[in-house]
Structure 1
């Protein structure tokens, strides 16, 4: 089984220390030759300007293929498309188009006056520019606001029909979750690549809380495993083994590309990639 293609998601830095951590993350993972790296928006669009700065800097200085997140939150259609034009002008030709989460203090997303109503509208407008490769989000577990898992599949199909080129899933804990979702997508006529979103478990308590907010079910066996590992001081070893096993199961079922949510903590992602056979790219010109 050949090594998978990999891609990585980064957070934009909000202070000087975070800037150093982002750069360390990039330096650690760039040698693995990712197909692309993405830079997120904060919840409610709170890091819009920071994201633009981070995307432009990474594109210019890292040599990586950088994809910018773009959401519908707290901006008019023209303001959102102006941001997109800025990305295109800077040479960034890939966008992860998302509706975005509700602003802090609000329980549900409400469109801004004059803004895009949803991600389908955003994708359609971006596709009409002809400037970008467009990726969208997908939900192998039911989105908290969706009526059903089938509704999630139908909404993904609408985004693909609007012009999206690929999808990246929310993270999940068991391979069967992704495989069932992929089967439903095939049945719905979705033919574009769907990248499994992988979240290496750096901190179990934080990951469990994050999963609960996202509506991602936490298997009892995983809770039990980390409870025992934390008592024995083996959490890092367990996290690496579980993540590598999940990825291996996905690869055995035909997934040839994996998208890692790094949380700007690269070591575990790097170790998992090495376990999967993704090793640093060697510059033969510099080999004696």
Structure 2
């Protein structure tokens, strides 16, 4: 019987020596077609060369990318890349969840990001549990912990700097987050945000509420802005806010024409993400997690600004990565 190579635990990867000032990681989405798949593998190879700490693979609402998520994650792990697989509860019974988790375990994918997930079609719709399924992420964590074949699993969760939009208030959000950490999650990755104070206050309130479990690593989720319309849509779906000062900078760059001035908007977006990353490094963030949309360039430009990657573009010779 073939031996399954165990993955480095994400929570352990945060403690390893890194070539940069701080570990960085990236999020990928399962590709929709052949062209997108080629872009994904090119991005995976580029980030491997840049020394990425780990990569994560999203899981579509209602399990819509179930097979592709497993296939892509398994291939990424052979690069080799430490690979974190997203898992949601939407439209899955307990038996289906167990089957999927056993599939992960059978190919050595032992890093799991446990999520409740959004309703398919409309993320802001009422969340209705699947008959025979689970209601809370903490139940998913407890289920994984109870399965003998998952003894090597390292589990992460999502956290929300502005509070989850379904939580009544920040106190309730803190309670829910701690429940997941106490159930066995080793770290969290935040929803994207653009105000560092939200991240710092999340860290403060978790630590104050529980000095043991509330001090587990909180990885900030960053998305370099390349489109004003795109970031507005992303924040709307996330139930989060775009700071007025940032929106003003982006609108000034757009100068009334987002298409014509897309390069100027993108330049501001890269500047903003670089500024955020510098502050987060200074504040002791354990890792910088970039939501890449399967692209390399914007993230590499930020990393270059931080002194953590070569420059991108013609004329840089061997400094250009793919």
Report TM bin, short chain.
over 0.9
Deviation at 1:176, TM superposition (A): 0.8
Deviation at 1:128, TM superposition (A): 2.5
Deviation at 1:230, TM superposition (A): 2.2
Partner of 1:212: 236
Distance 1:208 1:105, change over 3 A: closer
The answer as to 2:88 corresponding to 1:67 is: no
TM-score, normalising length: structure 2 = 0.83
Q: Paired residue for 1:36, among 38, 42, 54?
A: 54
Deviation at 1:29, TM superposition (A): 1.5
The answer as to 2:181 corresponding to 1:160 is: yes
TM-score, normalising length: structure 1 = 0.92
Partner of 2:121: 104
Q: Give the number of equivalent residue pairs.
A: 278
Counterparts of 1:45 and 1:101 in 2: how far apart (Å)? 11
Deviation at 1:197, TM superposition (A): 0.8
Question: Structure 1 regions of 5+ residues with no counterpart?
Answer: 281-288
Residues 127, 164 of structure 1: 8 Å contact kept: no
Counterparts of 1:109 and 1:208 in 2: how far apart (Å)? 23
Partner of 1:210, secondary structure, is helix
Distance 1:92 1:245, change over 3 A: same
Q: Paired residue for 2:219, among 179, 188, 195?
A: 195
1:12-51 equivalence runs, <5 A: 12-51=30-69
Partner of 2:112, secondary structure, is strand
The answer as to 2:305 corresponding to 1:275 is: yes
Q: Paired residue for 1:148, among 169, 172, 175?
A: 169
Partner of 1:234, secondary structure, is helix
The answer as to 2:95 corresponding to 1:78 is: yes
Partner of 1:200, secondary structure, is coil
Deviation at 1:28, TM superposition (A): 2.2
Partner of 2:220, secondary structure, is strand
Partner of 2:266, secondary structure, is helix
Partner of 1:284: none
Q: Paired residue for 1:223, among 247, 263, 268?
A: 247
The answer as to 2:135 corresponding to 1:135 is: no
Bigger drift between 233-242 and 145-154 goes to 233-242
Q: Paired residue for 2:199, among 178, 186, 192?
A: 178
Deviation at 1:131, TM superposition (A): 3.0
Show CA shifts across 1:209-246 (max 9, x none).
Answer: 21022111111111111111123541222111110000
Residues 22, 286 of structure 2: 8 Å contact kept: yes
Partner of 1:4, secondary structure, is coil
Deviation at 1:279, TM superposition (A): 2.8
Question: Structure 2 regions of 5+ residues with no counterpart?
Answer: 1-19, 256-260, 311-322
Bigger drift between 115-124 and 38-47 goes to 38-47
Q: Give the aligned CA root-mean-square deviation in angstroms.
A: 1.5
Residues 31, 37 of structure 2: 8 Å contact kept: yes
Counterparts of 1:158 and 1:82 in 2: how far apart (Å)? 25
Residues 41, 69 of structure 1: 8 Å contact kept: yes
